[in-house]
Amino acid sequence: MLIGKACRVGGRVRSCVVKALARLFTSSSSMAKSKFEYVRNFETDDTCLRNCYIVVRLDGRNFHKFAEQHKFTKPNDNRALGLMTQSARSVMGELEDIVIAYGQSDEFSFVFKRTSTLFKRRASKLMTHVASQFSSSYVFYWKEFFGEQPLLYPPGFDGRVVLYPSNRNLRDYLSWRQADCHINNLYNTVFWTLVQKGGLTTAQAEDRLKRFSMEFRSGDWAGHDRVLIWWSSIQTFIDLAVWHGALSCWKNQSSELGNIQQEGSKFSSRRTLYVV
């Protein structure tokens, strides 16, 4: 507005504009270094504690709807799992300090090595880089997995950061996610087999599984086995695809993970992809 007023004076238009711009620039830049500088103090320190594994876990936003609208097959859609895996691969390629990635359904966990100093270990930076790289890759590689089926709208992923101070904690974290995967897969596989091959309605299938849901949901592995044996004995049509997608895991560095490798047979010492 000041510039406009000065310009009405006539012959000295160009010099007025230049001076006004110069004034604006000088005053704003000097103020940024003095008067407004204090706003930096509102930023919180989110540096991750040293010597801990940094785990970033992503989860798809509203994926029950996304899966429905994109006609994912039930209970597991190989294209969707492949796309998640490819997106995770892309994240691991970009962020070299990630040593393990584990995914299931619409979630993926990324484990950074304990000694990582990437982005000065700032949680928000790590999490947002992982989430944005993953999300853009999901869109970028969509066609590779879904072919001509269009992506109807941009998917989103939330992220969280959790720190684990010991190998045991990290191993238990991964076991927890794997148990979750197993439980959900077991339930979903039986449920959808009853519907798709057994001809039950979804309500009937839910009802049939109700009395076993405690065992399904409780994380009680012996309970799962009992349920499986029971089902196998009377429902011959159920093929045991319950392990489908139960584990997808890479690691690309072995040095820090020695103890985990000894304790858990699920991890390999070389860069390896497991998809069971």
Enumerate binding residues for ligand GDP (CB under 6 A): 59-60, 62-64, 67, 72, 74, 76-77, 80, 105-106
State the amino acid at position 256 in one-letter form.
E
* CA distances for 132 relative to 42, 66, 88, 102, angstroms: 24, 18, 11, 18
Structure tokens at 29: 């830049």
CB of residue 192 to ligand GDP, shortest distance in Å: 9
d(CA 129, CA 131): 6
Pick between residue 59 and residue 180 the one whose CB is nearest to Mg ion. Answer: 59
Q: Alpha-carbon distance 133 to 138, whole Å?
A: 9
67 binds, among Mg ion, ligand GDP, none (CB under 5 to 8 A by kind): ligand GDP
* Cis amide prior to 154 (ω within 30 degrees): no
Query: Least distance (Å) from ligand GDP to the CB of residue 230?
Result: 25
Residue number with CB closer to ligand GDP (85 or 105): 105
- Overall residue count recorded for the chain in this entry: 276
Nearest Cα neighbor of 170 from 252, 114, 88 is 114
CB count, 10 Å around CB of 108? 25
**Quick one: 57 or 171, whose CB is closer to ligand GDP?**
57
Residues in contact with Mg ion by the rule CB under 5 A: 59-60, 63, 106
CB of 183 to ligand GDP, least distance (A): 13
Supply the minimum distance, in Å, between the C-beta of residue 123 and Mg ion: 21
138: partner contacted, choices Mg ion, ligand GDP, none (Cβ within 5-8 A by kind):
none
Do 96 and 130 touch, CB atoms closer than 8 A? no
Q: Which is nearer to ligand GDP, 16 or 245 (CB)?
A: 245
Residue 159 binding partner per list ligand GDP, Mg ion, none, with a CB distance cut-off of 5 to 8 Å that depends on partner kind: none
- Picked from ligand GDP, Mg ion, none, the partner binding residue 80 (CB below 5 to 8 A depending on kind) is ligand GDP
Using alpha carbons only, how large is the chain's radius of gyration in Å? 27
Least gap, CB of 51 to ligand GDP (angstroms): 31
